[in-house]
């Protein structure tokens, strides 16, 4: 996301590609950058938040930013990586949020974010309906102490990452059809839509 972040990833031995998921022109070049790759696990992590309540109408700019990043980006990226994930019979995991669960919604705070994550969950379900040979799922990382989650969140980034890693490794190892199109918590528990 930043030059510093890319440098940290490169220092750990990762190959990095810069992509602005909210920019269709940037998204369009992803497939050729990954040409010839097989992907066991692709994680769509991009997300941005507007904290206004349901009683505050979103501006066009805030709507576009949140929906382009959280929804349109996934809709443009997933089709490009599907052939590479199919090569490995792998998994596409989209980082969603419990805030996108209609059943669990008891507050109107961050309404636009909630709407975008509910839409992302539908992207997962629609994608899975078209792809019988791979797993596409939505996963909630927990309430994490990040810029978005705040200092009062219950999980550190390390705790969330460790839990997500264990759950996604389990999904990869088990290849269980029940995970196809699922909405999971970071600890592997099924979440209500």
- The pLDDT tens digits for 1-28 are 688 888 988 999 998 888 888 888 888 8
pTM of the predicted protein model: 0.93
Sites in the chain below the pLDDT cut of 50 = none
What 3-state DSSP class applies to 8? Answer: helix
DSSP 24-58: HHHHHTHHHHTTT---SEEEE---------TTSPP
- Residue 143 lies inside a defined structural domain of this protein: yes
Rounded to 5 degrees, what are φ and ψ at 92?
A: -110, 120
Q: Is residue 36 part of a domain?
A: yes
Looking at residue 1, what is its pLDDT? 67
Number of domains in the chain: 1
CATH number of the domain enclosing 44:
3.40.50.720
Whether 190 is in a domain gets the answer no
Q: In which domain, by residue range, is 25 found?
A: 3-185
Distance (Å, whole) CA 30 – CA 33: 5
In a domain, 193, yes or no: no
Domain annotation covers residue 191: no
The answer to whether the Cα torsion of 177, 182, 185, 190 is positive or negative is negative
Q: Does residue 136 lie in a domain region? A: yes
Quote the pLDDT of residue 153. Answer: 86
Residue 192 lies in a domain: no
């Amino acid at each position: 996301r930043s030059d510093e972040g890319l440098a940290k990833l490169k220092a750990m031995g990762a190959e990095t590609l810069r992509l602005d998921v909210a920019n269709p022109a940037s998204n369009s070049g992803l497939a050729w950058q990954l040409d010839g790759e097989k992907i066991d696990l692709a994680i769509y992590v991009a997300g941005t938040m507007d904290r206004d309540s349901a009683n505050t109408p979103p501006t066009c700019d805030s709507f576009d930013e949140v929906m382009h990043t959280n929804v349109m980006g996934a809709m443009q990226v997933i089709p490009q990586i599907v052939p590479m994930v199919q090569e490995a019979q792998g998994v596409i995991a989209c980082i969603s949020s419990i805030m996108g669960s209609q059943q669990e919604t008891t507050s109107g705070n961050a309404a636009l974010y909630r709407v975008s994550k509910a839409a992302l969950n539908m992207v997962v379900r629609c994608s899975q309906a078209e792809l019988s040979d791979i797993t596409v799922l939505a996963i909630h990382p927990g309430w994490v102490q990040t810029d978005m989650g705040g200092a009062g969140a219950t999980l550190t980034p390390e705790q969330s990452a460790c839990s997500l890693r264990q759950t996604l490794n389990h999904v990869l190892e088990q290849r269980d059809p029940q995970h196809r199109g699922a909405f999971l918590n970071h600890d592997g528990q099924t979440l209500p839509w």
